Amino acid sequence: MELYVKAGPDGESIGDCPFAHFVRAVIHAKGLECKVIPRTKDNKPDWLVNDYDGKMPCLKNGDTIVTESSTIVNYLENSFTDVQVECDQDQSVLHLTQGFFPAFAAFMKKEEYDQKLWNCLNEELGKLDRHMETSGGPFLCKMFPTLADLNLGPKLYHLKITLAHFYPNKVNQMLPPRVKAYMEEVLACPPIAECSYPAEHVIAGWTAARK
């Protein structure tokens, strides 16, 4: 199996894509063998550009080719059933994982602090904070990480790094305590931590997006 992912600034290492990180975390959690192939916009294989719009992450398993992180993860869950990452409650926390990244990206893309965009992001963080009050575990659904955590964790990695980098004086007041605790827990869990990439890649990516 091969997974094509966005390359880092050097063109060869694994880049700052939270969607690819999600897929790699699921592959790790399931204990699957997979060759990760970082590609830039200029050196993607022709079949990926011509038949799949160059979309990454892209999983290739023999003749089967799948794009879109959530579709790839569904494919992996249905094809390799020895270890299931999804749990019964994962669907019920989708509202926590779906709204977060668009609100985060809108806020972080603006070079100047924008109160309205921060309020939108803060609303998403508030949902997560309230959920963690009653979730009963360090993770979203259980005492161990499930699909929802492996989805949200890579996005919180971007949040943690960019807030500390772009808002160093504000960061301590920006995150509700339960979100902070959850973030540390999820970023330390092996599927996320062991599939991570350098913080500098995240900063380089968002610095370019803020121009």
Site residues (CB under 6 A) for ligand GSH?
A: 6, 17, 19, 41, 54, 56-57, 68-69
* Distance of closest approach, residue 58 Cβ to ligand GSH, in angstroms: 9
Q: Which lies closer to ligand GSH via its Cβ, residue 41 or residue 210?
A: 41
* Distance of closest approach, residue 5 Cβ to ligand GSH, in angstroms: 7
Beta strand pairing status for 64-67 and 58-61?
antiparallel
Beta strand pairing status for 35-39 and 2-6?
parallel
Q: Which lies closer to ligand GSH via its Cβ, residue 25 or residue 132?
A: 25
* Distance of closest approach, residue 115 Cβ to ligand GSH, in angstroms: 27
Cα pseudo-dihedral 139, 5, 124, 172, rounded to 10: 80
160: nearest Cα among 186, 191, 126, 133: 186
In the numeric block, the tokens 């939270």 are attached to 18
Q: Which lies closer to ligand GSH via its Cβ, residue 184 or residue 209?
A: 209
Identify whether the C-beta of residue 153 lies closer than 8 Å to the C-beta of residue 186. Answer: yes
200/207 Cα distance (integer angstroms): 10
Q: Which lies closer to ligand GSH via its Cβ, residue 19 or residue 139?
A: 19
156: nearest Cα among 211, 113, 111, 196: 196
159/177 Cα distance (integer angstroms): 15
Q: Which lies closer to ligand GSH via its Cβ, residue 135 or residue 196?
A: 196
* Distance of closest approach, residue 72 Cβ to ligand GSH, in angstroms: 7
> CB 137: neighbour CB atoms within 10 A?
15
* Distance of closest approach, residue 10 Cβ to ligand GSH, in angstroms: 15
Query: Which H/E stretch holds residue 6?
Result: strand 2-6
* Distance of closest approach, residue 69 Cβ to ligand GSH, in angstroms: 3
Q: Which lies closer to ligand GSH via its Cβ, residue 9 or residue 54?
A: 54
